[in-house]
Amino acid sequence: MKPVVLVTRKLPEAVEDRLRRDYQPRLNPDDRLYSRDALIEAAAGADAIIPCHTERFSAEVIARLPASVRIIANFSVGYDHVDVEAAKGRGLVVTNTPEVLSDATAELTILLMLGAARRAGEGERLVRTRAWRDWSPSFMVGTQVSGKRLGIVGLGRVGRVTARRARGFDMEIHYHDLQRLPSDLEAGAIYHPTPEDLMPHCDFLAFHCVATPQTRKMLNSDRIALLPPGAIVVNASRGAVIDDEALIAALKSGKVAADGLDVYNNEPDIHPEYRELPNTFLMPHIGSATKETRDAMGFRALDNLDAFFAGREPKDRVA
């Protein structure tokens, strides 16, 4: 008997084809968002769940899951939406999908940098609304990216790809991480042992760290004050690393010239002032949204399921 797998969102066709071949999937062709109670009800009799970051597995939800569920194979690299300690306590295996989305997320980070620096959101609105009237030397002047200093918080897989791409703009790379990387991984990047040490060297500041209690609101008013005037902030990691009120105040004052965001606190119900400010370049959490990457994420999740049901240790186990 093939294991029953609850799939909480619509996945790429190639991934769903493999699910149909190897499992008994409960698919979500309408891509509806499950409520907490509906998720628990849908999991009845399931052996596994493939969720996305849109489903939250709190300690309460995990306690209410049917006893048949033995593994949560996330379709995401982040797993802060799962209470891993509660999962461990119940004996649930939890996996994620690292490595496969580094290129796509780094590409999106570069887009955020360019979009924020060159006022792309403002410019597109001018063209679309027929508000563009003429040209002048003072019209739509932004910030040049080439040759500037890029500070990266979290020089992991995604951060290192972002750094490589940014070097194509002759940017000088600075970074903060929990510990200094070996020189071959640094590739010339300059290490700073604390966020406070990093901030003064950031004409651009990019976040590529996971969401933990330690990184929550890492970018706060005190650290923003340490940035050079007119710095640009981009985030394609997790919304929780930014104190929204502090960043919005800095955007209003001009201390931060612009921001480029793909992730938010409480998304999609983001802080409303981000939408109102002219110097924000906003994307709807699409860092991994390429066909190649979404297929690879699904296959990675299924590789973890295959290993688990074959009695092997899943490669990407996080709990």
The residues facing 6 across adjacent strands are 26, 49
Local structure of residue 80 (DSSP, 8 states): T
Residues 119, 115: Cα–Cα separation, whole Å: 6
Task: Please identify which of the residues 119, 149, 192, 238 carries the catalytic annotation.
Answer: 238
Residues 205, 278: Cα–Cα separation, whole Å: 19
For residue 308, which phi and psi values (nearest 5 degrees)?
-60, -50
Residues 298, 300: Cα–Cα separation, whole Å: 5
Task: Please identify which of the residues 201, 285, 294, 300 carries the catalytic annotation.
Answer: 285
285 is catalytic: yes
Strands 48-50, 4-7: parallel, antiparallel or unpaired by DSSP? parallel
Residues 128, 180: Cα–Cα separation, whole Å: 46
Q: Which amino acid is at 206?
A: A
Task: Please identify which of the residues 267, 271, 273, 317 carries the catalytic annotation.
Answer: 267
**Burial (Cβ within 10 Å: 0-12, 13-18, ≥19) of residue 282:** middle
- Secondary structure (3-state) at 94: strand
**Which residues contact residue 213 at a Cβ distance below 8 angstroms, ignoring those fewer than 6 apart?**
none
The 3-state secondary structure of 209-270, one letter per residue? CCCCCCCCCCECHHHHCCCCCCEEEEECCCHHHECHHHHHHHHHHCCEEEEEECCCCCCCCC
Residues 294, 10: Cα–Cα separation, whole Å: 11
* Tokens at 164, concatenated: 């490589």
Residues 317, 93: Cα–Cα separation, whole Å: 7
* Closest alpha carbon to 9 in 62, 61, 51, 65: 51
By annotation, the residues acting in catalysis are 238, 267, 285
